[in-house]
Structure 1
Amino acid sequence: MQTIHLTVTTPQQIFYEGDVEIVTLKTAIGYIGLQANRTPMFSNIEVGHLVIGWEKDDSSIKCYIGGGLVYADAEKINIITDDIIDVKNIDLQRALREKEILLKEIEKAAHNQQVDRLKLETKLKKALLRIETYNTYNK
């Protein structure tokens, strides 16, 4: 199968760089798989799972991604994000604690107009997806 060059960049480092057969990520229309020889596309990445390689392949890299941007054409895929974690590095206990704290903060925010409830809900969504990603790929 043909490969395509993938670069995943964060503000701190290059998270991944190499040739891959497929990258699966979530956009506004749902999960898509990006492969070689595709027409050019540019899109936002939604909070969700990102899989480098074939999902059922033991050598694939499975990640949580907290959003970002993707540009892909026939020869390369560039992903820019500030929030990506390899499933092997997800701290499940921390994510569960964060979930509980955020649920309490959201409950308090319902009675306080000063608190930005949308920010809290976004943080909660990310914590829940870290937990889901961990549980999906650590069976």
Structure 2
Amino acid sequence: MHELDLDIISPEKKVYSGKVKSVTIPGTKGNFQVLFNHAPLISTFELGIIKVGLPGDSTRIFTTSGGSAEILDNKVLLLSDTIEAVENIDLERALKSKVRAEERLTNKSGSIDFDRARASLAKAMNRIKAVEKYSTLKKDIPI
């Protein structure tokens, strides 16, 4: 079987390591998929969802704030400051984070860092979207 070796690493830990059939990564100009015998590549990736196709037709889903990817000789290395498996996302916490970020953005106080608030909102929305689309936790999620 044609498989890739995938390592996903954050500053805190190795998030995933194993054999996979494919990896779909949120590139700067759209998603790109890595399959067996992919051309060598070093690239950055954006905030979004990483889909990992596992042997046996199952899939793992991760949210990321962005990072860098190295593809060489059927090995894929993804480095990201923040990356989380969808099954580990605390939906309640993500929803609260979304509300806090929205409140900061509507507050016109001069002490608010709007770029940071926008980034927090984008990360929260990405986590909520991942749970809504891929998790068994999904119910009626107020977005």
TM-score, normalising length from structure 1?
0.90
Which of 85, 109, 130 pairs up with 2:127?
130
Partner of 1:49: 49
Between the two proteins, what is the percent identity of the paired residues? 28
Where structure 2 has 5 or more consecutive residues not aligned to the other structure, the ranges are 137-143
- AA of the residue aligned to 2:8: V
SS of structure 2 residue aligned to 1:80: strand
Distance 1:29 1:134 in 2: 23
Distance 2:100 2:94 in 1: 10
Deviation larger for 34-43 or 95-104: 34-43
1:105 CA displacement: 0.6
Match runs of 1:1-139 below 5 Å? 1-53=1-53, 57=57, 59-108=58-107, 111-138=108-135
Distance 1:42 1:113 in 2: 40
1:115 CA displacement: 2.4
| C-alpha distance after superposition, 1:36-57 (max 9, x if no partner) | 2111111111111111116xx4
SS of structure 1 residue aligned to 2:2: coil
- Say whether the 8 Å CA contact 2:104–2:112 is kept in structure 1: no
Distance 1:113 1:42 in 2: 40
1:120 CA displacement: 0.7
Distance 1:46 1:21 in 2: 22
Distance 1:113 1:97 in 2: 23
- Say whether the 8 Å CA contact 1:36–1:76 is kept in structure 2: no
- AA of the residue aligned to 1:134: V
